[in-house]
Amino acid sequence: MTNYNLADLVVRIKVAFNARLISIKIIKTKLNMNILYLLYKMGLIRSLHILEKEILVYLKYKKNGKPLIYDMSIVSKPSKRIYWNLTMLSKHYRKHAFSSFYIISTSRGLMTSNDALLGKNGKNISGEVLCSIKI
């Protein structure tokens, strides 16, 4: 059991992609399920199978065998929470362009930085930046 399930999720995905594993098991929490569902919707993981206490995640690779997720890191930590509004998101979007995106926890649920900037769920979206994903 871990104290910070998001860190456990990020580390397991990073290690699995670097080791070229086919599947991994993730602790079943509501936050982990929502993040994995976002990654599934974006096409970065192959499939999810929800078991009793864990989630079985099948990873997806490019045709040449390289991982789809180049890097994944935690932005907001329990000791230092990071909150960004729309202007901060747009600054970081211009810096990284299409090579990366962020997963943000808002009052409307989890969403990617791309969805927040496009205003798919309303205007003036801000929230806690959970992690960044480089593709």
Decide if 25 contacts 13 (C-beta within 8 A): no
Can you give the pLDDT at residue 95?
A: 63
29 and 82 share one domain: no
Is residue 65 included in any domain, yes or no?
A: no
Can you give the pLDDT at residue 38?
A: 94
**Is pLDDT above 80 for 94?**
no
Can you give the pLDDT at residue 121?
A: 62
Q: What is the dihedral of CA 77, 79, 85, 86, to 10 degrees?
A: -20
Distance CA 101, CA 85 (A): 15
Mean pLDDT, all residues of the chain: 88
78 and 124 share one domain: yes
Give residue 35's domain range.
Answer: 5-59
Can you give the pLDDT at residue 44?
A: 93
Any idea what the CATH number is for the domain that residue 87 is in?
3.30.1490.10
Can you give the pLDDT at residue 35?
A: 95
10-55, pLDDT tens digit by residue?
999 999 999 999 999 999 999 999 999 999 999 999 999 999 999 9
Any idea what the CATH number is for the domain that residue 41 is in?
3.30.1370.30
Is residue 64 included in any domain, yes or no?
A: no
Q: Quote the percentage of the chain above a pLDDT of 90.
A: 61
pTM beyond cutoff 0.85:
yes
Is residue 66 included in any domain, yes or no?
A: no
Q: Measure the CA angle with vertex 61, ends 113 and 34; round to 5°.
A: 40
Task: Count how many domains the chain has.
Answer: 2
